[in-house]
Structure 1
Amino acid sequence: MIQEKKMAYTNPVEGITNIGDPFVLKDEDSDKYYMYATSAASIGFRVWESDNMVDWEEEGLAFDSTEQEKQWATGDFWAPEVIKHGDQYMMTYSARNKDGSLRIAVASSSDPLGPFTDMNADIIQEQGSYIDGHIFIDDGIPYLYYVKDCSENIIDGNHVSQIFVQEMTEDLTALKGDPQLLLQPDQEWEGLQDDYQWNEGPFVLKEEDKYYLMYSSNYFASADYAVGYAVADNPRGPFKKAEENPVLAKDLENGISGPGHNSVTIGPDGETLYAVYHTHTYPEAPSGDRRMSIDKLHFEDGKLIIEGPSYKEQKISLGRE
């Protein structure tokens, strides 16, 4: 008799703390999971490995800026993401350059554990600060979604973070064409009354010919940091934000503060989608010290639904046996 095998877990997963912006790659070659995060912000990024998305083992530095031939960045290594492309693993990340601006780089490795080596240390040629690079490939065409950071982007006297998209070259090491503005703060929950406003952390999913652009808004060290999404018929937009935003938000009564900057991966059963996100380690004193949580994600009548943020025991399907 074939039975579904399940495993229990409770958020935050594995007790990993002092991280942010968790990105989980399911590697089809090894059938393992790899988690990259803002985690060693002065020099690079650590990586964790798992067989089941619940039990994680730290495996050291995946990217070490001190080992690069050209050490272009001075710190603030943020938001790494990794995808498999051909026989290489490609990492996007942001860091601060010697001029004080945040820039997006692309690095590669033949192993998901690294070491990753810079291929292009400044993929966006426009001036300003840019963060949160996310690669999405649709019908063979690669796109980079990224954020023009509010630190240097001033609109009508306010510091505003905006999400753009631009096509990439086939080898994922450069951009081509013109950038297309997709999202900027315009819903009330996104802090429109504040001098600093954010739409950041883009992540794209495709479901039944619709494109779902997930993003985070509000200050990362605020309990109000939360996740919303927008929908389009084309990866270049135009995207329309969901009226029910945010779809992942604080639950201070149960110790959940600032859930955000998510990625999405497929569970061990090969079917179930999971949103991977961070929350504040100390809800009473939100900061850059964050921890990882995972919750199921599904689509219903064209809407994206995250079954969280959960704090009670959950079951993760490991497949059938």
Structure 2
Amino acid sequence: MNHEKTINYTNPVGGITNIGDPFVLKDGDKYFMYATSAATIGFRVWQSDNLVDWEEKGMAYDTGEQSNQWANGDFWAPEVIKYNHQFYMTYSARNLEGHLQISVAVSKDPLGPFKDISTEIIKQEGSYIDGDIFIEEDGTPYFYYVKDCSENVIKGKHISQIFVQKMNNDLTSLIGEPQLLLEPDQEWEGLNGDYQWNEGPFVLKHEKKYYLMYSSNYFASADYGVGYAVANNPMGPFKKAGENPVLEKDLKNGISGPGHNSVTTGLDGKTLYTVYHTHTFPEDPSGDRQMNIDRLYFENGKLKIDGPSYTEKKIMVGGK
């Protein structure tokens, strides 16, 4: 007779503060978390055996160790995938001309050190952040990214938009023309504001459909939250879910600004968990954020999250 093993946890997890944009990579039986965490010089990395208890392992990426120091600050939103037996990090930072740009770094170890192999990969004018690499089952890589509202002015308003392009097989450059996928157009996304956001894309596939998760509203406001859109093709068109947002504030229980999520697989090898940040100080939201995890699942084609949670939850381990 099998007995499912579980680990109990309560958000936030890991005791980690002053971070943002947590991204968790599962490699074998270990987890690695990268985050906006040392924004003037690069990115720290944490390691865990169970998604709940985390140990800081130093700098995964340090601009001072790069042969071409193309950026001088605002190192944001790292993501890491395993691809062709190496680990590829995409991240954004501010270049010497003052624009935000996205680059790719590589390492043979998930702990790093990551070294740049292709810098400033988006060739259009403007500022760009929040790169997300999705590898299709046939091996085709796709790159989702954000044209940042700091320089993207449309009809007098600063608008963040999410785009996609294919990548080459080395993950060093983009192919074809950028395809606009999402921009703020749902009521919860603050459509009256002079600044509006759709950012933090993360794509996953379920039963031949593509789910593009994203965050909206200002990162340092309680209203920061997560929505999603669905498509039949990784290049779109994507249609936003009517039930958005799927993660939103719960101030009476101390949850402010849940957002910029990634998704990973649990210890049982099948249960999905979304990883996201909330404000460390809900009464004074800022760039000081903390990591949370909650179960993600699909029901009748809809993406659902058991959260944002603040009471004790269980992570399925499997076994017997």
TM over 0.5: yes
Aligned to 1:115: 113
Q: Alignment partner of 1:66: what SS?
A: helix
Q: Which amino acid is 1:142 matched to?
A: P
Aligned to 1:186: 185
Aligned to 2:72: 74
Q: Alignment partner of 2:188: what SS?
A: helix
1:2 Cα deviation (Å)? Answer: 2.4
Aligned to 1:228: 227
Q: Deviations over 1:42-88 (max 9, x none)?
A: 00000000011111100000000011011110100000000001121
Check if 1:243 corresponds to 2:242: yes
Q: Deviations over 1:229-260 (max 9, x none)?
A: 00000000000000000010000000000000
Aligned to 1:50: 48
Question: For the residues of structure 2 that align with 1:153 and 1:99, how far apart are their CA atoms?
Answer: 16
Aligned to 1:306: 305
Alignment of 1:266-281 (within 5 A): 266-281=265-280
Q: Alignment partner of 2:252: what SS?
A: helix
Question: For the residues of structure 2 that align with 1:6 and 1:248, how far apart are their CA atoms?
Answer: 24
Aligned to 2:7: 7
Q: Which amino acid is 1:24 matched to?
A: V
1:15 Cα deviation (Å)? Answer: 1.4
Question: For the residues of structure 2 that align with 1:53 and 1:93, how far apart are their CA atoms?
Answer: 22
Aligned to 1:97: 95
Question: For the residues of structure 1 that align with 2:170 and 2:94, how far apart are their CA atoms?
Answer: 24
1:155 Cα deviation (Å)? Answer: 0.2
Q: Alignment partner of 1:230: what SS?
A: strand
Question: For the residues of structure 2 that align with 1:140 and 1:177, how far apart are their CA atoms?
Answer: 17
Q: Alignment partner of 1:189: what SS?
A: helix
**Kindly, what percent of the aligned residue pairs are identical?**
74
Aligned to 2:163: 164
Q: Deviations over 1:252-301 (max 9, x none)?
A: 00000000000000000001000000000000000000000000000001
With normalisation by structure 2, the TM-score equals 0.99
Q: Which amino acid is 2:40 matched to?
A: S
Aligned to 1:129: 127
Paired positions, count:
319
Aligned to 2:216: 217
Q: Which structure 2 segments of 5+ residues have no match? A: none
1:14 Cα deviation (Å)? Answer: 1.7
Check if 1:24 corresponds to 2:8: no
Question: For the residues of structure 1 that align with 2:174 and 2:314, how far apart are their CA atoms?
Answer: 41
Q: Deviations over 1:169-205 (max 9, x none)?
A: 0011111111100000000100000000000000011
Q: Which structure 1 segments of 5+ residues have no match? A: none
1:161 Cα deviation (Å)? Answer: 0.2
Q: Alignment partner of 2:22: what SS?
A: strand
1:27 Cα deviation (Å)? Answer: 0.5
Question: For the residues of structure 1 that align with 2:208 and 2:313, how far apart are their CA atoms?
Answer: 30
Aligned to 2:141: 142
Q: Which amino acid is 1:247 matched to?
A: V
1:127 Cα deviation (Å)? Answer: 1.0
Q: Alignment partner of 2:202: what SS?
A: strand
1:142 Cα deviation (Å)? Answer: 0.2
Aligned to 1:318: 317
Question: For the residues of structure 1 that align with 2:268 and 2:123, how far apart are their CA atoms?
Answer: 41
Question: For the residues of structure 1 that align with 2:206 and 2:84, how far apart are their CA atoms?
Answer: 24
Aligned to 2:63: 65
With normalisation by structure 1, the TM-score equals 0.99
